[in-house]
């Protein structure tokens, strides 16, 4: 009998420009369906949660199911919603500034605002965050001055990073916001190491790591999972599955036919898969994972299912690889709209308050931008002193760098 | 060296000296942790961490999964927390999986965060050949580190320096790549592989203070003073240089760099300006090896003092072979020939 030739397989997204995406691959579950185990659950017993989807807000904007118990108070919800609105407005304004060449580059977090904002509000001061480049909400939710962020983006003479870093690669030690790197996934084992250090010292602080779906294919991702499991590190390992790594569909990162959370089960980590556009689910799952870590039950891997609504970056045009109306058709909707509707239904928010908040945030961002621009932008060429280029390579400047600085005449 | 005579000393191998350095630093600083493959209970495949876990507990000294990027990545996170990790990569030949963490992260943490975060790590790696280690137990990858801004690369050649340099490296706030020539772990080696190895107990530099002392980074040692020729080298090649000079009948200044980069340029320049002749030696392969940088520096700063072309004796531009070990290793014969060319032919 003749054997059929082997067939090479390459995953493809169902939707391409001019052709709608079939989102049935998302393995959705109704709100309230997923159980909530105790925080000391053995990792393997979370396998159904890793394959399912934790959701709190249902289609009527009601909070339902076991993950809706012990909800955040009204004030926290208002804070969360306001931070999401600010983040989105901030993103929109900086996008325009990039088009005006005031900065070379920007990356929005459109559609993903609930995830890092919901989590950071479930954490404590002193906890450490190892973000990727799309968690600006971590800073905004904690009221880090927008003007500082903008000075970094504009690389001006008040840039805290002295013009050394690409825009959005912030570093804010005073907020436990680790220095961002362009190299994907490297921060994942670093977060585990920070958590190990906290345990070594008998501290009570925990760490949170952030990665995108695409970067889970990096070797540092699996390395981090192994170390987190081996040493029971007090860390939350967050994967934002926004379905896209630049132009590449999450199936090419290994997400086809399986969830990304499922990989945690194989590594011995408690693993959750959560509706990333459901602020209440984000808060509840983050709180659960933080409690688990803080009580020495080890790490939790969380896959946040969301959608990258905007372009990958200001250098990207998604219309070349995916349908233009994809976000509108994404089944988990818009995190701001969903929380807003829920809060209005609960009587703790109103359309008027929403519009007033939007207005106030716009005014705040405009004022911050004006203040930042008074210190220069990339376009104005008013940047930090060139002499600082040679500083901080080492703690003390070695002789060869002093010579090079002299050669440059600065 | 004056300090050395005041301290109580005893004979140590390089292994014992390195262990003593780690022991002292674990004792002095609660923020120091040591981990890597097999370094915990077992005490390391080269015994460099023997007894340390029993003495300090497994939260200070522990075994790690076989994952170089995980070891270095976790150490960087610990450094960000405020610890001072001393990690081991079992062989320098196996640092490559950690390249991204070392080059993109540890080396640049301070710079990219404008001093907000630092990586006060020491990464120990046994390196070098001459032990029939073949391709992946013999390499000398120092040039891969010296090319990276933000790293310090250090290599001792004897027990005294090994301990003092390791203590300095651990205390230094920059990331330090600490390369240990495993051929020198038990005794000096001059390349005469057919002769019995002399243990460190018979060598003056094998007499090591028991307590705390440091050998400063960025300072070279003038290992032997000659006057006819300057030899710039480090690690095992220091001893090869010594025997080759004797066999060639040449009085050579032998400079043991100790800190490969950043280096002690003044000591090099002072010697070459005196001798007018220079030979650079290393085990690592030739092309784009660290010798090229040394040759360039000497040429740039000593051009009008030079009386002969600068020579380089290095490993060949091949992977490190097994059966042809002694044809590959830059031994005394090849080195002596270069010395003679540098001194007599030009």
- Tell me: pLDDT of B346 over 60: no
Q: Which residues of B touch A171 (CB under 8 A)?
A: 112-114, 116-117
Say whether residue B152 is in contact with chain A using an 8 A CB cutoff: yes
Nearest CA-CA partner of B121 in A352, A193, A239, A148: A193
Measured in angstroms, the CA of B173 and the nearest CA of chain A are apart by 7
pLDDT grade for B2, boundaries at 50, 70 and 90: very low
Q: How far is Cα A308 from Cα A322, in angstroms, rounded to an integer?
A: 11
How many helices (H) does chain A have, and how many strands (E)? 13, 7
Q: What average pLDDT score do residues B247-274 get?
A: 98
Q: How far is Cα B238 from Cα B184, in angstroms, rounded to an integer?
A: 11
Say whether residue A236 is in contact with chain B using an 8 A CB cutoff: no
Say whether residue A397 is in contact with chain B using an 8 A CB cutoff: no
Which residue among B70, B81, B262 places its CB closest to the CB of A198?
B81
Q: Which residue of A has its CA nearest to B67?
A: A223
Say whether residue A289 is in contact with chain B using an 8 A CB cutoff: no
Q: Which residues of B touch A405 (CB under 8 A)?
A: none
Count of CB contacts below 8 A, A vs B? 140
Q: What average pLDDT score do residues B110-119 get?
A: 98
Q: What average pLDDT score do residues B297-321 get?
A: 98
Q: Using alpha carbons, list the distances in angstroms from residue B272 to A115, A142, B264, B301.
A: 62, 59, 13, 9
Measured in angstroms, the CA of B240 and the nearest CA of chain A are apart by 29
Q: Is the CB of B81 less than 8 angstroms away from the CB of A226?
A: no
Q: Count Cβ atoms below 10 Å from residue B221 Cβ, excluding itself.
A: 22
Q: What average pLDDT score do residues B92-115 get?
A: 98
DSSP state of B149: T
Q: Is the CB of A186 less than 8 angstroms away from the CB of B105?
A: yes
Say whether residue A197 is in contact with chain B using an 8 A CB cutoff: yes
**Given this model, what pLDDT does residue B5 score?**
55
- B 165-194 residues inside an 8 A Cβ radius of A: 172-174
Q: Which residues of B touch A186 (CB under 8 A)?
A: 73, 100-101, 104-105
Q: Which residues of B touch A189 (CB under 8 A)?
A: 69-70, 73-74, 76-77, 101
**Given this model, what pLDDT does residue B272 score?**
98
Q: Is B66 helix (H, G, I), strand (E, B) or coil?
A: coil
Q: Which residues of chain A have pLDDT under 50?
A: none
Q: Which residues of A touch B73 (CB under 8 A)?
A: 186, 188-190, 192-193, 220, 223-224, 227
**Given this model, what pLDDT does residue A385 score?**
87
Bridge partners of residue B255, in order along the sequence: B222, B232
Bridge partners of residue B221, in order along the sequence: B256
Residue located via tokens 């926004």 = A242
Say whether residue A29 is in contact with chain B using an 8 A CB cutoff: no
Say whether residue A152 is in contact with chain B using an 8 A CB cutoff: no
Q: Which residues of B touch A207 (CB under 8 A)?
A: 77
Q: Which residue of B has its CA nearest to A222?
A: B70
Q: Is the CB of A164 less than 8 angstroms away from the CB of B114?
A: yes
Q: Which residue of A has its CA nearest to B68?
A: A223
DSSP state of A178: P
In angstroms, how far is the first alpha carbon of chain A from the final one? 78
Nearest CA-CA partner of A138 in A182, A177, A103: A177
- Tell me: pLDDT of B210 over 80: yes
Q: What average pLDDT score do residues B269-274 get?
A: 98
Q: How far is Cα B85 from Cα A189, in angstroms, rounded to an integer?
A: 14
In angstroms, how far is the first alpha carbon of chain B from the final one? 37
Say whether residue A320 is in contact with chain B using an 8 A CB cutoff: no
**Given this model, what pLDDT does residue A326 score?**
97
Contact A51, A358 (CB under 8 A): no
Contact A141, A79 (CB under 8 A): yes
Contact A302, A332 (CB under 8 A): no
Q: Which residue of A has its CA nearest to B102?
A: A186
Q: Is B223 helix (H, G, I), strand (E, B) or coil?
A: strand
> Which of the two residues, A85 and B197, has the higher pLDDT score?
A85
Averaged confidence pLDDT in chain A:
97
Residue B80's Cβ-side half-sphere holds a number of Cα atoms within 13 Å equal to 38
- Tell me: pLDDT of B144 over 50: yes
For residue B222, what are its two tokens? Answer: 């003038």
Say whether residue A358 is in contact with chain B using an 8 A CB cutoff: no
Q: Which residue of A has its CA nearest to B266?
A: A399
Q: Which residues of A touch B297 (CB under 8 A)?
A: none
**Given this model, what pLDDT does residue A81 score?**
98
- Tell me: pLDDT of B275 over 90: yes
Q: Is the CB of A393 less than 8 angstroms away from the CB of B150?
A: yes
Residue located via tokens 């017993």 = A45
Q: How far is Cα B241 from Cα B247, in angstroms, rounded to an integer?
A: 10
Q: Which residue of A has its CA nearest to B76?
A: A190
- Tell me: pLDDT of B115 over 60: yes
Please tell me whether the peptide bond between B262 and the residue prior to it is cis, using omega within 30 degrees of 0: yes
Q: Phi/psi at A262 (nearest 5 deg)?
A: -60, -25
The length of chain A, given as a count of residues:
410
Q: Which residues of A touch B69 (CB under 8 A)?
A: 189, 219-220, 223
Residue B137: active-site member: yes
The DSSP bridge pattern shows strands A244-245 and A248-249 to be: antiparallel
Q: Is B208 helix (H, G, I), strand (E, B) or coil?
A: strand
Q: Mutation target for B interface from A174, A183, A193, A396: give the one with most B CBs within 10 A.
A: A193
Measured in angstroms, the CA of A194 and the nearest CA of chain B are apart by 4
> Global pTM?
0.97
SS (H, E, C) B7-47: CCEEECCHHHHHHHHHHHHHHHCCCEEEEECCCCCCCCCCC
**Given this model, what pLDDT does residue B319 score?**
98
Bridge partners of residue B313, in order along the sequence: B281
């Amino acid at each position: 009998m003749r054997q059929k030739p082997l067939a090479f397989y390459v995953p493809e997204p169902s939707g391409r420009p001019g052709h709608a995406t079939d989102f049935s691959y998302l393995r959705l579950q109704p709100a309230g369906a997923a159980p909530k185990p105790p925080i000391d659950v053995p990792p393997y017993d979370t396998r159904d949660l890793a394959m399912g989807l934790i959701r709190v807000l249902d289609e009527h904007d009601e909070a339902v199911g076991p993950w809706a118990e012990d909800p955040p108070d009204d004030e926290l919800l208002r804070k969360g919603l306001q931070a999401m609105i600010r983040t989105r407005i901030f993103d929109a304004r900086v996008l325009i500034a990039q088009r005006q060449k005031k900065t070379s580059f920007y990356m929005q977090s459109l559609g993903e605002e609930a995830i890092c904002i919901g989590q950071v509000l479930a954490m404590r001061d002193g906890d450490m965050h190892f973000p990727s480049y799309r968690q600006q909400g971590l800073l905004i939710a904690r009221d880090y001055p927008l003007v500082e962020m903008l000075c970094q983006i504009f690389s001006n003479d008040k840039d805290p990073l002295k013009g050394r870093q690409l825009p959005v690669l912030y570093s804010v030690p005073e907020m436990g916001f680790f220095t961002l790197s362009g190299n994907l996934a490297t921060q994942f084992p670093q977060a585990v190491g920070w958590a190990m250090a906290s345990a070594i010292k008998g501290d009570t602080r925990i760490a949170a790591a952030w990665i995108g779906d695409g970067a889970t294919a990096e070797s540092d991702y699996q390395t981090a999972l192994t170390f987190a499991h081996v040493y029971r590190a007090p860390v939350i390992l967050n994967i934002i599955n926004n379905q896209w790594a630049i132009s590449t569909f999450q199936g090419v990162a290994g997400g086809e036919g399986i969830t990304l959370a499922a990989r945690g089960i194989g590594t011995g980590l408690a693993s959750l898969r959560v509706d990333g556009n459901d602020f209440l689910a984000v808060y509840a799952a983050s709180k659960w994972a933080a409690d688990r870590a803080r009580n020495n039950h080890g790490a939790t891997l969380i896959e946040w299912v969301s959608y990258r609504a905007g372009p990958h970056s200001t250098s990207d045009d998604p219309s070349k690889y995916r349908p233009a109306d994809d976000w509108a058709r994404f089944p988990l909707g818009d995190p701001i709209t969903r929380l807003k509707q829920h809060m209005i239904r609960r009587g703790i928010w109103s359309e008027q308050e929403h519009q007033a908040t939007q207005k106030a945030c716009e005014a705040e961002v405009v004022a911050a931008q004006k203040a930042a621009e008074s210190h220069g932008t990339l376009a104005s060429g008013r940047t930090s002193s060139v002499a600082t280029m040679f500083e901080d390579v080492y703690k003390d400047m070695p002789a060869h760098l002093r010579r090079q600085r002299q050669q440059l005449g600065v | 060296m004056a300090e050395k005579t005041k301290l109580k000393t005893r004979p140590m191998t390089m292994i014992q000296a390195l262990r003593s350095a780690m022991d002292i630093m674990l004792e002095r600083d609660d923020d120091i942790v040591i981990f890597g493959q097999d370094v915990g209970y077992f005490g390391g495949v080269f015994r460099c961490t023997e007894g340390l876990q029993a003495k300090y507990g497994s939260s200070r000294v522990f075994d790690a999964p076989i994952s170089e990027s995980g070891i270095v990545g976790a150490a960087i996170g610990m450094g960000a927390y405020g610890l001072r990790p001393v990690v081991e990569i079992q062989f320098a030949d196996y640092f490559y999986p950690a390249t991204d963490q070392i080059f993109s992260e540890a080396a640049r943490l301070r710079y990219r965060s404008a001093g907000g975060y630092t990586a006060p790590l020491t990464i120990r790696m046994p390196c070098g050949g001459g032990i029939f280690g073949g391709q992946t137990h013999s390499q000398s990858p120092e040039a891969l580190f010296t090319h990276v801004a933000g790293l310090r690369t250090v290599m001792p050649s004897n027990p005294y320096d090994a301990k003092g340099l390791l203590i300095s490296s651990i205390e230094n706030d920059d990331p330090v790549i600490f390369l240990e020539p495993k051929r020198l772990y038990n005794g000096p080696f001059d390349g005469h592989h057919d002769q019995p190895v002399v243990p460190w107990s018979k060598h003056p530099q094998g007499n090591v203070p028991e307590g705390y002392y440091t050998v400063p980074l960025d300072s070279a040692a003038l290992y032997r003073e000659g006057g006819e020729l300057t030899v710039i080298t480090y690690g095992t090649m220091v001893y090869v240089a010594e025997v080759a000079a004797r066999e060639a009948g040449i009085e050579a200044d032998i400079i043991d760099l100790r800190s490969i980069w950043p280096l002690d340029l003044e000591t090099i320049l002072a010697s070459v300006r005196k001798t007018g002749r220079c030979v650079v030696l290393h085990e690592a392969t030739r092309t784009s090896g660290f010798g090229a940088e040394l040759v360039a520096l000497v040429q740039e700063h000593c051009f009008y003092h030079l009386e002969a072309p600068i020579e380089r004796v290095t490993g060949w531009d091949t992977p490190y072979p097994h059966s042809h070990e002694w044809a590959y290793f830059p031994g005394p014969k090849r080195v002596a020939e270069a010395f003679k060319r540098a001194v007599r032919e030009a």
